[in-house]
Amino acid sequence: MRSKKMLKRISAALCMVVFVSIQLCGITAEAFNFEPVKGYDEDGNTIPLSLYSESVYMFNMDTGDVIIDVNSNEQRVPASLTKIMTAIVLLDEFDGDENKLKSTKYSAGTEAFDELYGTGASTADIQPNEEVTCYDLLCALMLPSACEAANIIAIGVSGSLDKFADRMNEKAEEIGMADSHFSNAHGLSGDNNYTTCADVAKMCVYALDNYQVFTDVVSMYDYTLAPTTEHPDGTYIYNTNQMLANDSLYYYSYCRGIKTGTLDAAGRCLASYAVNDGERYMIVSMGAPMEKTAEDVTKGEENPSSVYAADTVYYNLIDHINLYEWAFNYLAETEFVDKNSELREVKVEFGEDKRDYVTIKPAEGYTKFWPSYIPKDEVKQSIEVYDNVVAPVYAGDELGMLTLTYKGETIAEIPLIATESVNRSQAAAKKAVAKAFPHSTEFKIAIAVIVIFTAGSTAIYIMNVQKKYRKK
């Protein structure tokens, strides 16, 4: 068991290295924050897309490109996004084995329920001492966001709520969530329970990459818990994420889960990902309004069939749908650098057969998902080559750097390498050394030493001659 857990930790570390560094084959890519649009006006100008959420983090799940970053490292109350970490600790305990989850039952007494009474906490109607499979607890945790399921899991895994919170924080540290701290398993309280959009993204990537059962559960809209003594017919539950409900005005067919979160101190929060024609994006947002804005009251009156006509407007869902639509409709994988393009020549000294240059090219090509409404030629390229390149030079040697910028902001830095080798001419090197020696510091020092030695010797000779003369 210990070896398996060690392997999972190593796997998690590798996943986060890929996710965080975004450095491929020597290419250094910078996070680049685009301004999303919702379409064009009558004059053909883009119409900016306004976001309701106070913090937003959006990235391409395959390339790692961060394309929207609004206060992504600002610490905020996560509400029920906390339960994603609760699910991870549970799945770690069972190595993600769905059969083990379905064959193991947990239950808890009032210690799991007392703090929830009178709070309006979301629930799956699990009762004190009711035995529920860990798989069903996972479903109750992630779909209706059941707070009692979170506490039952915590007690079942660690024996107490506090010890489980310690496990959550250990896991957060392991997967690189440096700006997060968890004080409970359910997120109902904001006391010392905080994280960031960027950290939640790391948490989601870890869960999706390591546990297929997590991926399957978070994509379900509804589910019926297995019958128990307290619920002989089972319990029907459904997901709080209406993007998964095909009868909802918020339904979004490309969405694949993951979790909502709502709390007065947190606003409306959401972590989700979407897949369309092989392209995968993830969004984490926090701090969307809880109450309908005055402007949207008017929208609802003007359009009674819109989401704005309801008493409650889920601004977190609106933000995610709008951003996914923008990405799928306006972002396209665009090549900015061809790895086979020879960009320029670099002067080489002492090359064999009088060869005094070598051609350089990018170490790797560079592509990026780029908005169709921003001309590609607005991305500027600048080349810096190294000075005093001396043979021998070997194919693949780094001799410079190519920098891509857009409106003064660096997008990527790509090493430039020699396309072929240039051998060293020993004769040319010796000739150059001989030619350069009279002008070198070493030569000047040698001359100075000779002059001083000669002067000293002369002075000593004269003094000796004078002594002999005086004696006579």
Nearest-5° Cα angle at 34, 33 to 39: 160
Q: Kindly report the number of other CB atoms within 10 A of residue 5's CB atom.
A: 12
Q: Which amino acid is at 228?
A: T
Please name the residues in contact with 269: beta carbons below 8 A apart, sequence gap of 6 or more: 78, 79, 80, 81, 260, 261, 262, 263, 285, 286, 287, 288, 316
User: H helices of 253-333, where?
Assistant: 294-302, 315-330
Nearest-5° Cα angle at 66, 62 to 363: 65
Q: What is the pLDDT of residues 254-301, one digit of tens each?
A: 999 999 999 999 999 999 999 999 999 999 999 999 999 999 999 999
- Per-residue pLDDT band at 31 (split at 50, 70, 90): low
Helices 147-158 and 82-93, axial angle in degrees (round to 10):
40
* Distance in Å from the first CA to the final CA of the chain: 106
3-state secondary structure of 373: coil
Q: Closest Cα partner for 144 from 48, 222, 66?
A: 222
**How do strand 344-349 and strand 389-390 relate by DSSP bridges?**
parallel
Q: Closest Cα partner for 369 from 112, 22, 16?
A: 22
Contact present, 287 and 53 (Cβ < 8 Å):
yes
- Per-residue pLDDT band at 130 (split at 50, 70, 90): very high
> Can you give the pLDDT at residue 148?
98
Contact present, 407 and 432 (Cβ < 8 Å):
no
Contact present, 345 and 90 (Cβ < 8 Å):
no
Q: What is the pLDDT of residues 91-128, one digit of tens each?
A: 999 999 999 999 999 999 999 999 999 999 999 999 99
Cα distance between residue 431 and residue 459, in whole Å: 38
Cα distance between residue 414 and residue 338, in whole Å: 11
| Range 394-413 average pLDDT | 94
Cα distance between residue 131 and residue 112, in whole Å: 13
Contact present, 370 and 331 (Cβ < 8 Å):
yes
Helices 82-93 and 161-174, axial angle in degrees (round to 10):
90
User: H helices of 144-224, where?
Assistant: 147-158, 161-174, 197-210, 212-218
Q: Which residue has the tokens 């992504």?
A: 72
| Range 328-335 average pLDDT | 96
Contact present, 60 and 333 (Cβ < 8 Å):
no
Cα distance between residue 350 and residue 428, in whole Å: 5
Cα distance between residue 56 and residue 285, in whole Å: 4
Q: pTM value?
A: 0.83
| Range 310-315 average pLDDT | 97
- Per-residue pLDDT band at 464 (split at 50, 70, 90): confident
